[in-house]
Amino acid sequence: MAITPRVLFYKNTLRLSTTPTSFFTPTIRTIRSTQPLLVASRLSLLRTYTSHNMSSTPITYEKEQLYGYPQERFVVEQPTAPGAYLGPIDASKPGADKIPLLFQPLKIKDLTLANRVIVAPMCMYSSKDGFMSNFHLAHLGSYAIHGAGLVLAEATAVEPRGRISPQDVGIWSDDHIHKLQEVAEFIQSQGSKIGIQLAHAGRKASMRPPYSAPEESDYWRDDVVAPSGGEALKWDETFVAPRELSVEEIHQVVKAFGAGAARAAKAGLDTVEIHGAHGYLIHNFLSPVTNKRTDNYGGSLENRARILLEVIKEVRENFPKEKPIFLRVSASDLVEDVIDEPSWDIEQTVQIAKWAKDAGVDVFHVSSGGNVAKQQIKAFPGYQVPFAERVKKEVPDLLVAAVGIITGGKQAEEVLNQEKADLIAVARGFLRDPHFVLNAAKELNVKAKFSQQYERGRR
């Protein structure tokens, strides 16, 4: 039987400039073949890609011809999302008639989650020039198959120099949309939802990824930026000394966040999360430890939070109004006992939560630390939940996500029942156990929906 494949003819090169361009849509032709077809399915990027700053020098990407069959995008329909509540496992147990909060759907604007479990963003350092790959499809897709309500992809840089390492995912180019859209479509086809974390690494940029060694030319050590610069403001001696951003550059970064949000919308994502935590650029501005500016972006809390509020405004204007926006923050620098100067703390976090809500943030995702090498992290199960609880108490109308060594269903349910948070985010717990949601369901006597293809695994 003859098979009709699609041949996608791409332009030989695409040029990226600082002005936004529309996403390139290839023309589609068909050929007929009764012989096996050699499939060229990878993107070939020119080695001349060395411009990591925001200059007007265009970057050239080379794309190979892509051959594909429509059948390769076939998916089995999931009438009920994996991870959704179906009923109790044992109806005779006390309280079996009550649906645990963890498995109650949550509607946030037009986004409805099948349960309250979020896969928190985790850097994988597995990208080339910012492009997602088949690794990301398998990695993120597995969490959707196994029942996560929402999958938040890793920190995704809004400009090349905003990556933590040369192998971080990016969204500074329209060319990044293609693979991101493929990942999103798969996750959504499984009944889950997807967002990305819009990020800029600030003074923690241009570092070596943990499990590979890129060429020296892949780094941008002379263009690591922060609110304030100099040797004294390096994270530690293994990091690069940052240079201070000009006001004009700050405005460019804010616009880059908005452009990233627009690309996320084109890719069909359900939400975006602004990364304001863990010692990256926005956190650098928020904390007086790393922000020594004397202009409108430094000094008072209002000034230090200015870039954050500008980013929220820009993202909100470039992302569909019916879709929610998340904001992740560190509630504390965790250095109160080790440095004798003002630092970032929970009191300031509560205030920016109020401002963020008014600016258009729908979910406040509370972590801690990451901004100062001398931080003192006293980690134990649920160690960051008190920060989320404080924000929830002070800003009750703002949805709050708790994170931090939440290891199972009973612990997560307790956080929700005690109104310490509205959502539960889990990171390394999913790395250890991609079936986290289904195992949490067992803990709570919940019969959760399995993926159609995995239903036999219940028996």
Reduced to 3 states, what is the DSSP secondary structure of residue 85?
strand
Where residue 458 falls among pLDDT bands split at 50, 70, 90? Answer: confident
Helix axes 346-359, 306-318, angle to 10 degrees: 30
Q: Which of 371, 403, 409 lies closest to 387 in space, CA to CA?
A: 403
Write down the pLDDT at residue 51: 37
Q: Which of 351, 356, 262 lies closest to 307 in space, CA to CA?
A: 356
Write down the pLDDT at residue 281: 98
Write down the pLDDT at residue 273: 99
Write down the pLDDT at residue 41: 38
Write down the pLDDT at residue 68: 81
Query: Pairing mode, if any, of strands 169-170 and 150-157?
Result: parallel
Q: How far is CA 142 from the centre of its chain?
A: 16
Cβ(407)–Cβ(431) below 8 Å: no
pLDDT(218) > 50: yes
Cβ(192)–Cβ(151) below 8 Å: yes
pLDDT tens figures, 310-359: 999 999 999 999 999 999 999 999 999 999 999 999 999 999 999 999 99
Q: Which of 169, 244, 238, 236 lies closest to 200 in space, CA to CA?
A: 169
pLDDT tens figures, 44-71: 333 333 334 444 455 666 677 667 888 9
Q: How far apart are CA 180 and CA 208, in angstroms?
A: 24
Least confident interval from 212-216, 270-274, 362-366, 407-411: 212-216
Q: How far apart are CA 435 and CA 415, in angstroms?
A: 20
Cβ(81)–Cβ(387) below 8 Å: no
Q: Which of 35, 122, 58 lies closest to 328 in space, CA to CA?
A: 122
Where residue 459 falls among pLDDT bands split at 50, 70, 90? Answer: confident
pLDDT tens figures, 362-386: 999 999 999 999 999 999 999 999 9
Overall average pLDDT of the 136-147 stretch: 98
Overall average pLDDT of the 265-272 stretch: 98
Cβ(170)–Cβ(176) below 8 Å: yes
Overall average pLDDT of the 271-287 stretch: 98
Helix axes 177-189, 134-145, angle to 10 degrees: 20
For 299, how many CA atoms within 13 A lie in the half-sphere containing its CB?
5
Q: How far is CA 13 from the centre of its chain?
A: 29
Buried b / exposed e over 82-99, threshold 16 CB at 10 Å, is bbbbeebeeeeeeeeeee
